[in-house]
Structure 1
Amino acid sequence: MHRFQQSMMKSLFVPIIPGAIIVILLFFLEYFQFELVEKFLLFAAFVIVPLVILLLKYDEKSTHLQTIYTAIKWFQFPAALLALSSVMSSNDWGLEGTAIPGILSLGWLLLTLLLCLYGIANISIHKGKIAEIAIGAGLVYFFIGGIWFTLYQYQWTLFQANPATHALSSVHFHFSSAIVPIFIGMLGRIMTKKSWYPWVVAIDIIGPVLIAIGMIFSKPIEYIGVTLFACNIAIYTTYLLTYLKRNPLYRKAAVFLVVSCLAFYTIVVVSMFYPLLKRKFDLTILDFIPIYGALHAFGFVLCGLIGWIYLLDSLKRKNHYHILDERNDNLTIGRFI
């Protein structure tokens, strides 16, 4: 039984191995002359979204949800390859300025649309449960990120924002906007319900929209959105660390989730000391973007998703063995009756 459990844990992340290998090559091979923002977008396509799909595996699914989920699971990797082809066509194949990069990006747009439909269906099926609203909102935000990616690849201007802003907006919606509501929704599934939780979810849904609007139209609105969003993440990480301390059984999950929380706190500390570091070492915001990006994408998001998958898998197996034990007890009692 112990060997079976080990093989099950090892096989959890097999689906993301091909995408992870591709991402490693994208980041470290000089052949891929991509912008950093494009590398992070492809990291989302090949690793982050597949991990979200693994996370959704543990949902209770109706027939409609199962159909959408199956389509998402099988179309994700081809869609990610189309996204890679889209970026390569505009960087390496000399097709920038043509419609080809935009056309190739439509595959990823369709995948994010399927995630959006899954999120809406999930909210509808669970009849407005707060945690499911948060998870559904995160999945809807993937679609908004897909729209921004397509706009970027077509090099279209929207709301007087240039294509570079579209790329940043796409990264924003593929990472923070989509992932944080999913994390908070997962927390809502396992936590004792609190009166403040609906407010956290509401701010979590509104915050990304304020940030996106602020990036295009108004810096003060962006600052308000970022502040609200950061406070929400602080509440989430604090409660999660408390939960893990009270439930020390989930060791693998705890390692990744604690690293995820620490990555967020590190981002906060670096942000607080940014003005001092900028003056002392003659640094610019461009020097800090890779640091922020790595801490957020690889620390907070990646480790957080892996931790939640381990946690949900542990809870599922725990419930499964509990049911088996109850059945065995009933059979034993039945033999004596």
Structure 2
Amino acid sequence: MNRSLKQPMKSIFVPVIPGGIMTILIFYLDYFHFELVEKFLLFAAFLIVPLVILLLRYDAKNTQQRVVYVLMQWFQYPAALLTLFSVMSNKMWGFEGTAIPGMLSLGWLLFTLLLGVYGLTTIVIAKGKAAEIAIGAGLVYFFIGGMWFTLYQYQVELFNANVATHALSSVHFHFSSAIVPIFIGALGRIMAKKSWYPWVVAIDIIGPLLIAFGMIFSKPIEYVGVALFACNIVVYTAYLLAYLRKNAFNMKVSFFLGLSSLAFYTVVVISIFYPLLKNMYSLTILDFIPIYGALHAFGFVLCGLIGWVYMVDSNQGKKIGKENRWVGTSL
């Protein structure tokens, strides 16, 4: 029995190993002459999205959702490779200024469309369940991130925004906009019903849109969106830490989810002390961007996803254990 329960824990991350290796190579090999924002986009394509897929569950009775889920599993890695080739053709292969980088980026756009379709079906099937709506919205935001990436690779200036803004918008939707609703939805699946939870979900869905709109048209709107979004993450992390403290979970679950929350609060502390640090050490915002990006992407997002995948796997193991004990008793 114990061996059968431990087996899924050992094998659950096998699908993301190739993407993890590619991510390490992209960040640490000098061969890849990419901008930092492009490295984070590839990090999302090769590692973040596969981890998100591990978190998803589909209704066995819904043929459309089941088919889309299988297609996502099949095409994720080929789409990630096309994303890599798109960036390489622009930065390394001498096709900058041509349509080739944009054409190659369409592979990722079509894959994120699958994520968006899956998200919409999740919202429809949810029938008002806030947790599932949050997860569905997060998946739809991946598609918006895919659109921004394609605009970036085609070098299209939209809404009088420069191309660099498109890249930042794509990163925003691949990480914060998509991941935070998924995290809050995952929390909603396991927590007791709270009257305030639907409001958190609603703000979490609206916040990314305000940020994206503000980045292009209005800084005050962006600040409002950031403030709402940050408050939502504070609510999520505070409740999550309290929940982990009160309930006995696998050590890996508590470690990674706790580390994810700690990374977020570290970003908050650095942001508070940024003016002081800037004056003391003559630093600029460009010096802090890699720190913010690493803490958010590798700390909050990556550790959080690993923790939630372990949580899902642990819950499945408990269900299998209960079923086997019931069978043994009945026999």
TM-score (norm. length: structure 2): 0.98
What are the superposed Cα offsets for residues 108-140 of structure 1, whole Å, 9 maximum, x if unpaired? 000000000000001111212111110000000
Residue deviations 1:25-59 (CA, integer Å, cap 9, x gap): 11111111100000000000000000001111x44
Partner of 1:99: 99
Match of 2:269 in 1: 269
1:199-227 residue CA offsets vs partner (Å, 9 max, x unmatched): 00000000000000111111111111000
Task: Quote the offset at 1:19 in angstroms.
Answer: 0.9
Q: Deviation at 1:320?
A: 1.6
What is the correspondence of 1:179-328 to structure 2 with a 5 Å cutoff? 179-328=179-328
**CA–CA separation in structure 1 for the residues paired with 2:192 and 2:220:** 35
CA offsets 1:300-328 (integer angstroms, 9 cap, x no match): 00000000000011111101211221222
Distance in structure 2 (CA, Å) of the matches to 1:8 and 1:129: 28
1:27 is aligned to 2:27: yes
Aligned to 1:138: 138
Equivalent AA in structure 1 for residue 95 of structure 2: L
Partners of 1:191 and 1:198 in 2: CA distance = 13
Report what 1:63 is aligned to: 63
Secondary structure of 1:141's match? helix
Distance 1:233 1:60 in 2: 29
Other-structure match for 1:116: 116
Per the TM alignment, residue 248 of structure 1 is displaced from its structure 2 partner at its CA by 1.8
Matched residue, 1:40: 40
* Alpha-carbon distance in 2 for matches of 1:188, 1:173: 21
Unmatched runs of 5 consecutive residues or more in structure 1: 332-337
Q: Is the Cα–Cα contact under 8 Å of residues 254 and 307 in structure 2 kept in the other structure?
A: yes
CA gap 1:123/1:44 in 2 versus in 1, 3 angstroms: same
- Taking the aligned partners of 2:35 and 2:189, their CA distance within structure 1 comes to 38
Q: List structure 1 runs of 4+ shifted beyond 3 angstroms.
A: 1-7, 58-61
- Would you say the 8 A contact 2:142–2:174 is kept in 1? yes
> What does residue 166 of structure 1 align with?
166
1:80: which partner in 2? 80
8 A Cα contact 2:55 2:308, kept in partner = yes
1:325-336 correspondence to structure 2 within 5 Å: 325-331=325-331
Mapped to 1, the partners of 2:181 and 2:249 lie a distance apart of 25
- Matched residue type, 1:194: K
User: Are the aligned partners of 2:5 and 2:321 in contact in 1 as well (CA < 8 Å)?
Assistant: no
Q: Please give the secondary structure, in 2, of the residue aligned with 1:175.
A: helix
Would the alpha carbon gap of residues 120 and 134 (structure 1) be closer, same or farther in structure 2, given more than 3 Å must change? same
8 Å CA contact 2:58, 2:65 repeated in 1 = no
Letter of the 1:146 partner, please give it: G
Provide, for residues 150-194 of structure 1, a one-character-per-residue CA deviation record: whole Å limited to 9, x for no partner.
000000000000110000000000000000000000111110010
The match for 1:334 is none
In 1: Cα distance, 2:314 partner to 2:191 partner: 16
Give the whole-Å Cα distance in 1 for the aligned partners of 2:122 and 2:108.
21
Question: Within 1, Cα distance between the matches of 2:112 and 2:118?
Answer: 10
What amino acid sits opposite 1:297 in the alignment? A
Write the letter of the residue equivalent to 1:235: V
Instruction: Find the residue that maps to 1:146 and give its secondary structure.
Output: helix
Cα deviation, residue 63, structure 1: 1.7
Aligned equivalents of 1:286, 1:168: Cα separation in 2: 14
Q: Higher relative contact order by CA 8 Å / sep ≥ 6: 1 or 2?
A: 2
Distance 1:230 1:119 in 2: 23
Asked whether the 8 Å contact 2:259–2:299 carries over to 1, the reply is yes
Q: Which runs of no fewer than 5 residues in structure 2 stay unpaired? A: none
